[in-house]
Amino acid sequence: MLIAIGERRAVLVAGIDEAGRGPLAGPVYAAAVILDKRHPIPGLRDSKLLNPEVRQRLAVKIRARAIAWCVASADVGEIDSINILQATLVAMARAVAGLQVAPEEALVDGNQCPRLPCPTRTIIGGDISVKAISAASILAKTARDAYLVELDGTYPGYGFARNKGYGTPEHLEALQRLGPCAIHRRSFAPVIQSEFDF
């Protein structure tokens, strides 16, 4: 592509965010998104501020219009082995590594950076203030939610399709009644306690 003298080429910036640090079960997910300024996506916000139907519609638009996107995860074994923060950073690094176009800069929601091969900045509240991070938040959240709905069929009784692995009263009661299953995070206190009680 020819660039006129004095014209600046747009820097390829990846927004990065995670979903699922707090639940008692299931993987932690992360997404990386490089948005295309030529194809804006109205309505991008922090995924937690959107209802599921709107999140799903936006996820479809992000996948169709972004220059590049990737969703990755770290499984329960990794979470229990290296802790949830480190597993989250691993998932973020995997998401960036999976992009079909390499970013020249990465913006990460929060205050912790994964190790990446490009300059990286953290932005607290970035999922609200930075569109690319909002897009990553939406992709990570919708992908993780869909996977937990699938797992509900494999591990019935815990309500994963409804609670997505979070420690709701229904989930905590099921933990006490059934004990933990294969996708529970055994390094998390409520799961440890239920395992002991069980």
Judge whether 104 and 13 are in contact, CB under 8 Å.
Answer: yes
- Distance between CA atoms of residues 55 and 171, nearest Å: 24
Q: Which residues of the chain have pLDDT under 50?
A: 1-7, 198
pLDDT at 194: 78
**Using an 8 Å Cβ cutoff, are 110 and 83 in contact?**
no
Tokens representing 16 are 């990065």
In three-state secondary structure terms, 14 is strand
pLDDT on residue 51? 94
pLDDT for the residue 2: 36
Distance of alpha carbon 153 from alpha carbon 148, whole angstroms: 9
Half-sphere exposure at residue 109, Cβ-oriented, CA atoms within 13 angstroms: 30
User: What does the pLDDT read at residue 57?
Assistant: 97
* Integer CA distances (angstroms), 48 to 25, 51, 59, 186, 192, in order: 19, 8, 13, 26, 28
- Predicted confidence (pLDDT) per residue in 7-48, tens digit: 456 789 999 999 999 999 999 999 999 999 999 999 999 898
94 near 75, Cβ under 8 Å? no
pTM of the predicted model, to two decimals?
0.92
- Greatest alpha-carbon pair distance for the chain in Å reads 71
Please name each of the domains of the chain with its CATH number. 13-197 (3.30.420.10)
